[in-house]
Amino acid sequence: MDRLDNTVRPYAWGSPTAIPQLLGTEPTGEPQAEMWMGAHPGAPSRTARGTLADVIDADPEKELGAAAVARFGPRLPFLLKLLAASAPLSLQVHPDLTQAREGYADEERRGIPADAPHRNYKDANHKPELICALTEFDGLCGFRAPLEAAALLDGLGVDSLKPYVDLLHAHPEDAALREVLTAILTADREEMTRTVEEAAAACTRLGGAYAPYADIAHHYPGDPGVIAAMLLNHVRLQPGEALYLGAGVPHAYLDGLGVEIMANSDNVLRCGLTPKHVDVPELLRIVRFHAADPGVLRPEAAPDGEEVYETPIDEFRLSRYVLAEAGGPRDLTRATPQILLCTAGTVRAGEHELAPGRSVFVPAGEKAEVSGSGTLFRATVVV
């Protein structure tokens, strides 16, 4: 087992206190948004043997197991994070695997530099993700039913929103959602800024179901994404609950601390709530205009006290153990690579004692016995 030394990313939307409080360290005064655990080239975890990326590159089959290498290639296929938001992240979607491969190949053919601000596809992989709340966690996930979105917009009493309200009453529903999102993102910018300002004032005045959108508008004044956000389901997760974000599902995290796991990709198409590039035609090609319940996940009991967050993809599998001294040690040995993350109490993993926020990498097939009293998240793959 390798104890991990992980990088914290200081994105502007991050909480200055949530991750330091979990780690038991002093806040720096700067935002601390994400702590990365894995072998992503942008910030690979460090071990006593070198970076985790270097360790895996030196002997992929030993570290990942032959089955995982055959299935996903010679790299760790997931990235695990602690994510702490105190302001909304960008409203975004991720492509499916076919779209990512096609988009990446197209931008490579056209010679768009990898670091160009208008580049959409940084790699040829999809980016499904799962967020599990450690505190109350607010987010937006998937489209509301169009009539529900129409009622929310109509309740603001803003005349310039009436055309959107009318469109949302049209059929079929997927076409109505497409038309409205297209209209929002292609509207005259000055007119949209005035609409957002009026809507924000109404959200502040009305409160209740409108309060999340007042807060979004406070952070992103005049941004068309404020209106687009009102087309989506607002979700408040309780600790231990989770959301799975599949391809084409528009979403944004708003506030809270959670454990996030995703396929190892940087492919993001933004809808708003950002100063970054918004490629409207490509976005509309990727978004799935389907209204649905956001589908809050709760862990399902598995043998030996494991609680699994079931998802339909294989690049990652997230579960947790709530350990007690009286329960004795648990054998977590698997034929696949694992990252174990403590989020509460004190857990012993092999020779390593893990306090909250501390983690280890367990190579495929290596003995992984854990004990103690606390909460342990386990990230691995399905082969």
Catalytic positions, please? Answer: 270
Angle between helices 189-206 and 211-219 (to 10 degrees): 140
Q: Where are the alpha helices (DSSP H) in the chain?
A: 18-23, 52-58, 60-64, 66-72, 97-109, 146-154, 162-168, 173-186, 189-206, 211-219, 225-229, 280-286
- CA 298/CA 40 separation, integer angstroms: 28
Let me know: does 230 contact 116? Beta carbons within 8 Å: no
Confidence band for 317, pLDDT divided at 50, 70 and 90: very high
Q: How many CB atoms lie within 10 A of CB 73?
A: 12
Is residue 26 predicted with pLDDT exceeding 90?
A: yes
Mean pLDDT, residues 5-28: 96
Is residue 325 predicted with pLDDT exceeding 90?
A: no
Mean pLDDT, residues 242-257: 97
Confidence band for 154, pLDDT divided at 50, 70 and 90: very high
What per-residue confidence (pLDDT) applies to 99? 96
Mean pLDDT, residues 50-56: 98
Mean pLDDT, residues 3-20: 97
What per-residue confidence (pLDDT) applies to 61? 97
Quick check: helix, strand or coil at residue 346? strand
Quick check: helix, strand or coil at residue 152? helix
What per-residue confidence (pLDDT) applies to 327? 83
Rg (alpha carbons) of the chain, rounded to whole number:
22
Q: For the whole model, what pTM was predicted?
A: 0.95
Contacts of 147 (CB under 8 A, 6+ apart): 168, 169
- CA 80/CA 341 separation, integer angstroms: 9
What per-residue confidence (pLDDT) applies to 277? 87
- CA 141/CA 360 separation, integer angstroms: 31
Mean pLDDT, residues 326-352: 95
Mean pLDDT, residues 50-78: 97
